[in-house]
Chain A
């Protein structure tokens, strides 16, 4: 046997003790340590799962489930020009872009003013102004019960074209304004504005 240092100082250090172990024992110990670490990591992941998992995968709801657009009032009625405005109120649970509002009546021209899309943020209701022009008094539905607005909404999840039905108050207000601009006192309808 040659002149070989087997250690130094007070005795064997950890590395030296490890090296002195039989290869089989070292292999088994390594495998056990790896499994224990894996188990601890798994346990940690399981105990912290409720906080960690949904956050990354959660998606905002479709616009139809997070946005409300309700009728407020009719204003600026101009019987001579057959125009008026409608004020609506938009609220949302998630940021949403109102891209378009229209009403599919052939006798009405209804647009959002100003015409650019309106961004609505949670907790910050937004007033929407619709400019309406009666294109023709002929065939104007005077007493429709549930007129709806066709609205295009876009959020982080999807773009949807939806019907918003503002209900009785909106229907009655439309009836009143239609009678004002197209009623008998306005003279015979010409079919043109």
Chain B
């Protein structure tokens, strides 16, 4: 009987406490009275979701999904519900272009996140440019996508106003790696291999150029086919050379077996590459022979970013089966940039998007130029070429079976 009385009292008091706490959090919601009548805005997502590079692509997709869910949960843009349409480009330029056409044809699509590969990005640019549909890539690093084909001669020219990216370009990544290896590691002799693709050849080119200017010697170079997995002939050449290291301008599905076969052929030298080698998959594919290999990647290590902690926590809570990988934070920020541009246009147009989608897309592209926010990867904003203003990058070395950051750099031009 006494227990029953106490139970009744406890229940009464608990209800009272909950009422009090509810009263306390009401202010946080800002009194939003939205009910019904919401506009659905679709964010397109293009990445390699199947095939060799799917680990990176799935990380991009999941992180974009998290950004969309967060925006909806927080009612980030009043009167707008965001939806995600994901398309798989399989790392192929042709498929990417078809996907771009499909996204342009969908009248609900207000902006696109992706793709991963620079050559795929290049094939999509014109399609989006013609339709005024904004595109933010979390991972394209080839400089010509934003600065035009003659960027290296100092003749920078933006070709598409619709193209933006949150990743640092190879214009910084390649030379930074060269400076690090020549001056810090005291490596003087390089063997350079690339896969002839936009990303691989471009990155190897910027690396080689700076390495030679520093006084480094190129003791050998080769091109490989990115579809091959047997590199024994090239591996033997590298092993016999007097190289201190081999620089690989390619992605991890090619780079890992190439590096492993060089070591197997007796070349006891580290393999070094760009952000496309910075993946746990590289170490997995390498089968325990990747110790000492290095990769540069865009951004500072996420562990040093307080802004990334919430992302990492929410990603885990989101129950995504695959990790966010190298570009997860950048994909989240790319999606958030699109969301912020939509928000700016909605606020400018009395709380709704313009009825004419062509007009809405044009306004969203214009708004992207002024987007600024504190994102997962730091402060997010874009320069006059659509490149990120946050130009940090890091060198990682495989130690104890994982990539460990050994140096972080920050590009701070005044």
Contacts and interface: CB of A to CB of B under 8 A. Distances in A.
Interface of A: 24, 27-28, 31-32, 35-36, 38-40, 42-43, 46-50, 59, 61-62, 64-65, 68-72, 89, 103-106, 139, 141-148, 160-169
Interface stretch (B19-27, B43-51, B232-240): B19-27
B304 A64 contact: yes
Given A146-B172, A148-B176, A39 B305 contact: no
B29 interface: no
Interface residues of B, number: 42
B410 A166 contact: no
A64 B28 contact: no
Contacts of B412: 68-70, 164-167
Given A35-B9, A64-B408, A143-B213, A169 B413 contact: yes
B161 to A, nearest CB: 24
A32 B7 CA distance: 10
B88 to A, nearest CB: 35
Interface of B: 2, 5-6, 9-10, 13-14, 16-17, 20-21, 23-25, 28, 172, 175-176, 179-180, 183-184, 209-210, 213-215, 300, 304-306, 378, 391-392, 407-414
Contacts of B14: 39
B409 A162 contact: yes
B6 to A, nearest CB: 6
9 contacts: A38-B17, A42-B20, A139-B215, A141-B213, A144-B175, A144-B179, A146-B175, A162-B407, A165-B391
A99 B28 CA distance: 43
A50 B410 CA distance: 34
Contact of A163 (B210, B306, B410): B410
Given A104-B184, A168-B413, A162 B175 contact: no
B392 A64 contact: yes
The 8 nearest A-B residue pairs measured at CB: A43-B20, A167-B413, A47-B24, A163-B409, A39-B17, A104-B183, A70-B414, A146-B175
Contacts, number: 129
Given A71-B414, A104-B184, A141-B214, A146 B179 contact: yes
A163 B176 contact: yes
B21 A47 contact: yes
B244 to A, nearest CB: 15
B407 A43 contact: no
Most A-side CB within 10 Å, residue of B17, B305, B392: B17
Nearest to B210: A145
Contacts of B413: 70, 165-169
B13 A38 contact: yes
Given A146-B172, A169-B414, A35 B13 contact: yes
Contacts of B414: 70-72, 89, 166-167, 169
A46 B24 contact: yes
Given A144-B213, A145-B213, A163 B408 contact: yes
B305 to A, nearest CB: 7
